[in-house]
Amino acid sequence: MIDKIKSEIAAVAAFSSSNAEEIENFRIKYLGSKGLLKTFFAAFKDVPNDQKKEFGQTVNALKNAAESKVNDLKEARASQEESKGVYGDLSRPGEPMAFGSRHPISIVKNKITDIFARIGFNVSEGPEIEDDWHNFTALNLPEYHPARDMQDTFFVAKDPDVLLRTHTSSVQVRYMENNKPPIRTISPGRVFRNEAISARSHCFFHQIEGLYVDKGVSFADLKQTLQYFTTEMFGKSEIRLRPSYFPFTEPSAEIDVYWGLETETDHKITKGTGWLEIGGCGMVDPNVLENCKIDPNEYSGFAFGVGIDRIAMLLYQIPDIRMLSENDVRFLEQFKASI
């Protein structure tokens, strides 16, 4: 009888239908208060003394087998439920794929690139780790020139000839060295300056600089190019050029666009004047052309530069420049509609 029950318990599979009710019925049948094993324990007192040890060991082994089988069945059922919870209804549509978004710096850079591409400017790029010649000397900033102090340079490995570029004008030098006029190019990229980090400044930021070199290029060409850019970029065509100083251009000017005073934010960002500075510009200094093996008696040119970070902050009303480099997904997700 015991052997028969043992065979029955062993024959129970990890239920083809792992129903909780079937598992409970199995437990009651063998381990319940009125189960088969209870009957064997009750008959223990009638077993001859010389057989009690063997009988007890057999019944205990049978009880352990039954309990182990119940546990196996419960685990099998729990595993099936977990699997169902993970996969669910396989005929259902899949989870929607989350779309990424472009960084506001990339959005603004691409927009500026498209604007200048429409008037014949190509894109040129160069290394972020530069040498002294391309970053300073070729741009009319010889050694010990006081204007070098304006750049707050990061030097690499204590080598005064290797540095992180302080502007993308170095790319323009490389382009002029390898291309003959007419030249019409813009150079977007990241630049580095050893400045204190705050809501309005950072030790790295992004610029896009433009260069046009050809015969008979004048300051009037520069102004018309900038007016076209501000109209396309901001929808505002009124600009002014204030005299300024840059070592690599002469004459030089700061670029202001009339932003207006319609809102409180307008008053804040323009300091109540309505005018907003967006960059610098000027006619390429003849010394720069000579350094790049271009005859300044035959050719002239203009250059300009604007800060991509500043324009992004203006267009999207970003209050802190540090938000552009913190990679906070909550911030970046706002620009999905701008892709």
CA gap 30, 67 in Å, rounded: 9
Q: Which of 156, 164, 183 is nearest to 172 (CA)?
A: 183
Predicted structure pTM score: 0.69
CATH number for the domain harbouring residue 294: 3.30.930.10
Q: Which of 205, 197, 199 is nearest to 128 (CA)?
A: 205
Alpha carbon distance, N-terminus to C-terminus of the chain: 78
Both 185 and 285 in one domain: the answer is yes
pLDDT in tens, 123-155: 999 999 999 999 999 999 887 777 677 668 888
User: What integer pLDDT is reported at residue 157 of this predicted model?
Assistant: 75
Q: Which residue has the higher pLDDT, 126 or 5?
A: 126
Both 80 and 184 in one domain: the answer is no
- Which residue range(s) make up the domain with 265? 104-338
Residue where one domain finishes, among candidates 30, 56, 87: 87
CA gap 48, 42 in Å, rounded: 14
Q: What percent of the chain has pLDDT over 90?
A: 43
Residue where one domain finishes, among candidates 87, 119, 147: 87
Does residue 93 form part of some domain? no
Q: How many CB atoms lie within 10 A of CB 327?
A: 9
Q: Which residue has the higher pLDDT, 251 or 317?
A: 251
Using the predicted structure, report yes or no on whether residue 195 has a pLDDT greater than 90: no
pLDDT in tens, 262-288: 888 778 778 889 898 899 999 999 999
User: What integer pLDDT is reported at residue 41 of this predicted model?
Assistant: 65
**Angle ∠(235,238,242) on CA atoms, nearest 5:** 130
Both 109 and 25 in one domain: the answer is no
Both 109 and 58 in one domain: the answer is no
Both 162 and 303 in one domain: the answer is yes
pLDDT in tens, 290-318: 999 999 999 999 999 999 998 998 888 88
Residue where one domain finishes, among candidates 32, 55, 87: 87
pLDDT in tens, 44-100: 666 677 766 776 677 777 777 777 777 777 777 777 665 555 556 667 777 777 777
User: What integer pLDDT is reported at residue 320 of this predicted model?
Assistant: 86
Give residue 15's pLDDT band: very low, low, confident or very high (50, 70, 90). very low
User: What integer pLDDT is reported at residue 17 of this predicted model?
Assistant: 47
